[in-house]
């Protein structure tokens, strides 16, 4: 019988949410040798988890497809290059479950306002803050995508300064520019990208894809590049610059002061490789934005 840990069981349940009923029942037949008849998704899931020998064996099953694991890791805030092969995704998932980064309480999604309270420390490292912020922000934003089948985390204007400004440049078949002021409108426009347009943002948190600098008067700039997906299709790449300032009214948590978001569709890439895109901003250019 199964030797899955509780963390592994919870992880698989999250992963299986994205599977079709037919695929899940087929996986149940394979795992149980068709000895267990299941009538619905819940029974199929329990049969699979009960009769699987271990997590690695189940992850390597043909029906547990590469893209399924990739999307699961993205929702857990683990950024992997879109070009990653299945065995690499399996290895990273097993590391996640054994490290304590993921646990059974994550089924009850934590309030996003709690997870962004990065307390100020003396001589803090802007890059560490940038990594923490990007993991938090993109997990929160991606959770609004209904195609992931998960409970959306708490999104809203509370994460932005009231006078925040969003500059959005989109290059697909044509070029479109938008400039949106105010926390309410910025919140709604970003929400539409994932909730209505069903986009999934996969940031590249490796050194080539993430930079962060801090000014002497409290502004931290975080620049990140990544890929944009809809379901299993890669639509293009994005580059995003955040301006962050602490809010003394909210226990010194960080709030977003401005966002510059540039999106390039596959047509605009001109054949360039979309996997694990690198930033076009240099650290010196970011510092100029601070001034």
Q: Is a pLDDT exceeding 80 seen at residue 287?
A: no
**Rounded mean pLDDT, 77-81:** 78
Report for 139-153, 182-196, 215-229: range of highest mean pLDDT: 182-196
Q: How many Cβ atoms sit within 10 Å of the Cβ of residue 271?
A: 5
What percentage of the chain has pLDDT greater than the value 90?
34
Distance of alpha carbon 151 from alpha carbon 103, whole angstroms: 16
Helix and strand totals (H; E) in the chain:
11, 7
Q: Is a pLDDT exceeding 80 seen at residue 183?
A: yes
**Residue 167 phi, psi (nearest 5):** -110, 115
pLDDT digits (tens, 9 = 90+) for 95-118: 999 886 654 443 334 333 333 444
Each domain of the chain, given as residue ranges in start order, spans 6-106, 111-290
Distances (CA, A) of 82 to 19, 71, 162, 236, 277: 20, 10, 35, 11, 10
**Rounded mean pLDDT, 31-46:** 84
* pLDDT score for 124: 60
Distance of alpha carbon 91 from alpha carbon 15, whole angstroms: 15
Q: Is a pLDDT exceeding 60 seen at residue 199?
A: yes
* pLDDT score for 114: 38
For the domain made up of 111-290, the CATH class stated in words is alpha beta
Q: Assign 206 a pLDDT band (cuts: 50, 70, 90).
A: confident
Residue 144 and residue 130 in contact, taking contact as beta carbons nearer than 8 Å:
no
């Amino acid at each position: 019988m199964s030797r899955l840990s509780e963390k592994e069981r919870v992880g698989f349940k999250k992963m299986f949410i994205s599977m079709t009923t037919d695929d899940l029942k087929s996986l149940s037949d394979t795992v149980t040798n068709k000895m267990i008849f299941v009538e619905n998704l819940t029974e199929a899931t329990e049969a699979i988890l009960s009769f699987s020998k271990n997590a690695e064996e189940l992850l390597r099953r043909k029906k547990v497809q590469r893209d399924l694991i990739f999307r699961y890791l993205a929702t857990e805030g683990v950024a992997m290059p879109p070009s990653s092969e299945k065995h690499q995704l399996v290895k990273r998932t097993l590391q996640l479950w054994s490290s304590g980064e993921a646990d059974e309480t994550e089924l009850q999604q934590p309030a996003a306002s709690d997870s962004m309270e990065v307390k100020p420390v003396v001589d803090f490292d802007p890059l560490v803050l940038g990594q923490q912020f990007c993991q938090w922000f993109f997990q929160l934003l991606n959770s609004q995508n209904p195609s992931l089948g998960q409970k959306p985390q708490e999104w809203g204007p509370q994460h932005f300064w009231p006078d925040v400004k969003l500059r959005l440049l989109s290059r697909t078949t044509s070029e479109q520019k938008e400039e949106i002021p105010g926390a309410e409108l910025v919140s709604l426009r970003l929400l539409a990208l994932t909730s209505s347009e069903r986009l999934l943002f996969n940031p590249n948190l490796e050194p080539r894809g993430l930079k962060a600098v801090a000014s002497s008067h409290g502004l931290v700039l975080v620049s990140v590049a990544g890929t944009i997906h809809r379901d299993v299709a890669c639509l293009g790449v994005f580059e995003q610059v955040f301006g962050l300032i602490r809010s003394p009214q909210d226990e010194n948590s960080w709030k977003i002061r401005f966002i510059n978001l540039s999106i390039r569709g596959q047509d605009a890439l001109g054949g360039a490789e979309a996997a694990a895109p690198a930033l076009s901003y240099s650290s010196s250019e970011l510092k100029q934005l601070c001034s």
